[in-house]
Amino acid sequence: MAALNGKRMFPCPVCTDPREVRTTKKQKPYLVCDPCGVQVFIRGPAGIAAFDRLVDRGDREDLWARLREMERRYYLKCPECGCRFWAEPELAKTSIFDGSLQGFRCPEKKCGATVAWENKQ
Ligand SMILES: [Zn+2]
Ligand SMILES: [Zn+2]
């Protein structure tokens, strides 16, 4: 499923949607995600080798299923303002009573809502 129409695909680091792996004139791989406005260039030989391995492994193994699973767990949507963000330790909000994880703070400055963790289980 990773190799759509024979193209090599790799997830955008921001939205995790599969994007086509393109190649520069100098034969260096790069990704472009238009919705995110992200461009990732892999320039170093060691980086290119590691990147190729990752892409090929994604073709063979279930990289995409694992990413979906990660997204289901850690990619949150704020119910107040609708912004989407990755759950990060800095955003974790714990109960002042027993220290249990309550949820994650929306990173939008004006919002500050807590997205309940329970909803994601
Ligand atoms: Zn993206
Ligand atoms: Zn919000």
- What's the gap in Å between 105 CA and the centre of ligand 2? 8
pTM for the full model? 0.52
- What's the gap in Å between 40 CA and the centre of ligand 1? 11
Q: Per-residue pLDDT for 116 more than 70?
A: yes
Instruction: Please give the Cα distance from 80 to 112 (Å, whole number).
Output: 9
CA angle (3, 50, 86) in 5-degree steps: 75
3-class DSSP state of 61: coil
Residue 82: what residue type?
G
- What's the gap in Å between 92 CA and the centre of ligand 1? 24
3-class DSSP state of 28: coil
Note the pLDDT tens digit of each residue in 71-115: 777 888 899 999 988 888 888 888 888 888 888 999 998 998 998
Q: Residue 4 — very low, low, confident or very high, per pLDDT cuts 50/70/90? A: low
Tell me the angle at which helices 63-74 and 45-60 cross, rounded to the nearest 10 degrees. 90
Closest to 2 in 3D by CA, of 43, 61, 50: 61
